[in-house]
Structures are given as structure tokens and as C-alpha cells.
Amino acid sequence: MTAPPPRVGVVGAGISGLATALAIADTGGVDVEVFESADRIGGKVDASPFAGVDGVDEGADAFLARVPEAVALAHRVGLGDDLVSPEPVGAAVWHDGLHPIPDGLMLGLPGRVRPLATTGLLSWRGKARAALEPFLPRTSTDSDSIGEFVRARFGDEVHERLVDSLVGSIYAADTDRFSLAEVPQLAALANGNRSVLLAARRQRRAQAGTATAAASPIFATPRGGIGAFVQAVADAVVEAGGRLHTSTPITSIAPDGHGRWTLGAVGIEEDRTFDAVVLATPAAAAASLIDAHFGDAAALLRQAETADVIMVTMHVPAEQWPQHLRGLSGYLVPKPDQRSVTAASFASQKWGHWRPPAGGEILRVSLGRDGQPVMHLGDDEILSRVLDDLDHHVGVAFEPLEVRITRWPAAFAQYRPHHATWVGNVEAALPDGISVTGAGFRGIGLPACVRSATSVAARTTAHVLTESA
């Protein structure tokens, strides 16, 4: 009699859990089953019809295209020919008015002198301080704080108006408390280089000399939005033989005494014992599942911190859209200038496939970041604050035709300094056969989540096949 194949249970059907399941299913020889507590897949990713457009993202709207993982996954699930890139429009930072983001930046770090010297975003004192950077001695990265490092190299203005605006917007972060090592583009410039500006300039010149890099888009997304991407991955999991359960909360994970794991699940009566389990959930959720048997690992997981974000999507009538906003993809607001809005995306100018068929513009506005709670606000107050801030920033009292408010509580993992050490400690405290993956651990963006998921899938597959041999 042939022994049944080993089984892996994946908890969480966000992009990390689904990418893990697909990688396991594609390997062959292992059964994989995904459990999701919500009635939908996607986790922190979702898209829905808005302003006559079939799928407008309610969270992230793109992924890095110059790293291979997400693009490769898109091709695997049949979306490779459906990827689009943003329109060639500029972005701005608001500081007593809108200022174009200077050319030559790398996540806010200057890589060219002239754009920095001519921008109206920095005062002459800020420019003079930044100009000293090539002459400063090497700065230690031991603190692993983005803010501490950038302030030491370029001064407060470059940090607050450029680096923190950009990085803080991407990660909903306070960069004074965010790990430098966990932002690869910044870490690559900071580590091993005396001058960041000179290193950035060398890197930009090297990239400019690469025809592929010069021609390829920086960001991409499927026409149906990131939500369509997640759905395509879920469909591929099922097509590859995996099973997917929604509205099925996992309540516990317990060893069965024979090297396997039993999942307590709501709504499923059949066998729920697995040779390995992958927790593709936020750290707090993972902690609650393992606390009864692995308290040390659970205690470490509970140390993780997060930030809340609210996304307000509006359909603005064409007659209200001012000419001075044409040709822009949106703007960022530096922390010292923030009242409620942290960033505004002129979504239908940024993405050609999001232009409302009835005309007008789609505007996506973000509120909330690390240290800036927003979940206590009611919908009416949220909209009032957004409209007031927009009037303050761009001089228009918008009267939107349609409004959608999406709340993302605890959605953005905050990578505190020395985050990698914490991750290593978590993984060391977990027993063989239980792994964690997701945005809380080894990378926040979609490509990083896919890369981590693929790595965990490979280790998990090797483990269960070895144990079953």
C-alpha cells in the first residue's frame, strides 16, 4: 500500500500564504491546504469597482518591477501580458506648497548635486548642510536607524522632507524608529561607502549604462489591480491541486505526539493533521496560535509593532480638477507638515487604466502612520479632515461624486532597529515543522513577500519529504 503524500497546512490567504502554497504545490509530491479566517482572500490587498472602473485597489496599487519575484509570479499565474506601468508623470512633496521631487533621488537619498541645489523644497541652510556629505567621515550604521543615519549624513531637512516623506509613505513608518538594514536600497548605499551621495551617483550611472534597466519600468501592476493578482495566485493554487478554505479560522496548533501538527479549525470536521505548518499571518495572530505549546516563540512574536492606515478614495468631478495638478502622480507630506493626510495619489493620472469612463479623476488619500493613530476616527470626521487638508494643500474645496473609505488596522509591520535579530530569534524558538512568513518578517513589499514565501516553501517541502522518506 502506497503511503499518502505529506501534508502542509498554510494559515493565511494573503499573498504570502498563497505564494507559499503555490510554490509547494508546484514542487509536487506534497499536499497543501490553505486556511483563511476571512470570507475573502488577499489579506492586506483588496480591489473593488469604483467610479465605473472594475478594479481600483483599496491598498497597495503596485509592486517593484525591477526585482524578479513578483514579475515571475505574475507570469506563472497568467498575468505576465497584463502588467502595466505608471504613466510618465512626476510627483511632488508638499511643504508650504507643492515642490517637484528632485531628480536623482534613491528613496529620498540624493544622488545628484544640481537637482538638490536648485530645489525649492530645501532652505539654503538645508542645502548647505547636505552639500557637506561627501566630505564627512564614514558614519556608523550600528544603531540601524534610518533617521539617525540620514540626519548624520545630510541633516534634518533632507531626512524630513525627502527620506522620511518617501520611506515613511511606503512603510507607514517613523524612520527614526525603522531599521536601515531592512530597506535594501538604503542599506546598499550606507554599508561600505564613506559618502552616500557619491555612492548613489555611481550606482545611478551604472544603472543608466544598462539598457535593460533604463528601458524597464520601476513599478508594475495588473490591469485589474493587485487584488486581481492575488486572485490569480489563489486560482493557480487550486489548479495545481491545493485546497483553499475561506471563512475558516484556525484556533490552535498542537503537536500530535508523532512529529505532526493538528490544527483546530472552525467549520471543518475532517482530518486537520499536517506534517508541517506555515503561519502566513501577522505576528500577533501567529503568537495566539502557538502560545499554548510554544510560549517563548509566542512572547517574541508579540513584540512586533504595527501601524494603522486609512485609505480614502474619491471620484472628483472634472470641472473641479485644477490645471496645476495635471502631469502629477500625487504628493507626499513631510511629518512636520502633516495634519491628517500623509500622502495623496492622483490615481487616474498615475494609472491610465483607472480613468473614469464618465470623466473626472480618481484621488486616493492616505492617513495614518507609526505613532499617528487614526482608527478611532469616524467616517464623517475622516472625510472632513481629508477634504480640509486637500484644500490646504492644493487650494481646492473638492466635492467628490463618490467616496470609499477603507480601514487597514495593524496593517503595516514596523521594522524596528535590529529587526533581523528579532526574526532570527523567532525562527530559532519555533519547533521543526512550524515556519512563519509574511510582511512582518523578511520584507514588506510584494516582491519581498513572494521571495520569503518561496524560501519558506522550499524549506518546508524539503523537511516533510525528508521526514516521510
Same domain for 293 and 424? yes
Nearest to 284 by CA among 264, 262, 303, 265: 303
Q: What local confidence, expressed as pLDDT, does residue 459 receive?
A: 96
Nine-digit cell at 260? 505532526
Q: What local confidence, expressed as pLDDT, does residue 208 receive?
A: 65
What CATH number corresponds to the domain at position 436?
Answer: 3.50.50.60
Q: What local confidence, expressed as pLDDT, does residue 257 receive?
A: 87
> Residue 169 in contact with residue 195, Cβ under 8 Å?
no
Full residue range of the structural domain in which residue 114 is found: 102-214
Q: What local confidence, expressed as pLDDT, does residue 258 receive?
A: 87
Same domain for 298 and 443? yes
Number of domains within the chain: 3
Same domain for 235 and 182? no
Same domain for 141 and 131? yes
**pTM of this prediction?**
0.94
What CATH number corresponds to the domain at position 157?
Answer: 1.10.3110.10
* End position of a domain, from candidates 166, 187, 214: 214
Q: What local confidence, expressed as pLDDT, does residue 106 receive?
A: 86
Q: What local confidence, expressed as pLDDT, does residue 300 receive?
A: 98
* End position of a domain, from candidates 152, 186, 214: 214
Q: What local confidence, expressed as pLDDT, does residue 419 receive?
A: 97
Same domain for 181 and 121? yes
| Residues of the chain scoring pLDDT < 50 | 211, 214
Same domain for 332 and 268? no
Helix (H, G, I), strand (E, B) or coil at 444: coil
Same domain for 357 and 429? no
Q: Is residue 455 part of a domain?
A: yes
Same domain for 204 and 56? no
What CATH number corresponds to the domain at position 53?
Answer: 3.90.660.20
Q: What dihedral angle (degrees, nearest 10) is formed by the CA atoms of 375, 379, 384, 390? A: 70
Residue 118, classified by CB atoms within 10 Å of its CB into exposed (0-12), middle (13-18) or buried (19+), is: exposed
